[in-house]
Amino acid sequence: MRITNKELGDVLQKLDDIIEEYKANSVEKKRDWRTYELQLAERIRFAMRQLDPLIDEAIGKITIVRGESRGRKPELSVKQKTSLLLLKHLFGKSNREMSLMLVVFSLLSDIDVSYKTVERLYSDPEVLMVLHNMHVLMMKKRNVTNPDCTGDGTGYSLSITTHYATEAQKLKDKAKENEPQAPVSIENTGDVKDASEKEAKKRKRSAFAFMFMDLRTRMYVGFGSSFKSEKQAFLKALAMAHETGMNSIRMDKYYSAQTYATLMSENFPDIKLYFIPKSNATIEGPWSWKRMLYDFVNATPNYLHAYFGREQSESGIGEDKNRVGWTIAQRRDDRIDTAVFCTGTWHNLFWLKET
């Protein structure tokens, strides 16, 4: 099983034409909207029916030992806190709006708390433990073990006045211009600010997220977020996905490098990679990289068929943003992580029913 750099280069040179021909010959499956709507409604009903018992089961796996009995008694039980956080995230309401809605809900549930209590749920250790247990339980219920996965990153705006897609496009356009950056900038007030400090504030306008999805069940096996970069979000998602294992992975060209091939192989020794090699790729690298390039060169149509399964990632992320929105109201790093965890939890809940 050997290939040469010349053989690889020949395929890469013709790759655009090969992909165009592959897509032209691929039969696009048309969606039966009536069937789709019926299945969607049933999945939503099933998710809502499973939410309460799933939270109970997740709490049952936790033993909480309190070393200090003094102080104010918690206003909410662990179950109430977890349910409130997930429903608040699904409804897309602000902390203040959700606290006011609870005044109405209190007629049925006797829950009446302030908006500050709602915000603190994002960093409540008991709630975080319940969310983690819910994720593990859902993986077990759908028998997700060593899945064939696809991975993709996205971003969430931290302000309703800033749209992530628009800001990302602005950064891309600016990068193309290749204009030198000034080391300092002078405001109208006469203050001199460090350029790196201003850039850090700009990055705070959005948060990065990364999701690994099981192609069979469409459930997320790992997800993570970061203020700093998509790579950090990717590493968090990778650590989370370690619990279920991974048989194969598809990712976009950003991750098509020996570095990521090595990283994936170290975490999942027998993993099969499906990357589209960059134009300057060579056969040097770990065994998983070489095996990938061999399949890419010698069985290109079959390889592309497997690779384009990654389109499921894009549709899954779009589904999430349609459900919970494209903004995150939290500002602290740990609370942004919890918000992304809530998004992943709802995604998995809505795919908990087998279709």
Q: Which two tokens stand for residue 215?
A: 């192609």
Domain residues for the domain of 150 are 5-25+35-62+75-160+204-350
pLDDT at 93: 64
CA dihedral 312, 315, 317, 323 (to 10 degrees): -140
Q: How many CA atoms lie within 13 A of 123 on its CB side?
A: 11
Tell whether 340 is covered by a domain: yes
Question: What residues does 149 pair with on adjacent strands?
Answer: 214, 249
Tell whether 106 is covered by a domain: yes
Q: Which two tokens stand for residue 85?
A: 């956080």
Handedness of CA 104, 110, 116, 122 (dihedral sign): negative
Contact 225, 336 (CB under 8 A): yes
In this prediction the pTM is 0.81
Tell whether 107 is covered by a domain: yes
Contact 151, 250 (CB under 8 A): yes
Nearest to 246 by CA among 149, 153, 150, 152: 149
pLDDT at 33: 67
Tell whether 241 is covered by a domain: yes
- The helix-helix angle for 5-13 and 287-298 (nearest 10°) equals 50
pLDDT tens-place string over residues 5-28: 899 999 999 999 998 888 888 776
Total domains in the chain come to: 1
Distance CA 179, CA 224 (A): 33
pLDDT at 284: 86
Distance CA 9, CA 48 (A): 52
Distance CA 119, CA 3 (A): 56
Tell whether 141 is covered by a domain: yes
The stretches of 272-310 forming alpha helices (DSSP H) are 287-298, 300-307
Give me the amino acid identity at 276: I
Tell whether 174 is covered by a domain: no
Tell whether 195 is covered by a domain: no
Q: Which two tokens stand for residue 158?
A: 């931290």
CA distances from 54 to 87, 108, 237, 309, 340 (A): 14, 21, 23, 30, 19
pLDDT at 194: 52
Distance CA 344, CA 222 (A): 8
pLDDT at 189: 43
pLDDT at 190: 45
Q: Which residues of the chain have pLDDT under 50?
A: 104, 107-108, 179-193, 202
Q: Extract the runs of DSSP E, i.e. beta strands, from the chain.
A: 148-157, 184-186, 192-194, 206-214, 220-226, 248-250, 272-274
Tell whether 197 is covered by a domain: no
Sequential DSSP letters for 48-69: HHHHHHHHHHHHHT-----S--
pLDDT at 329: 85
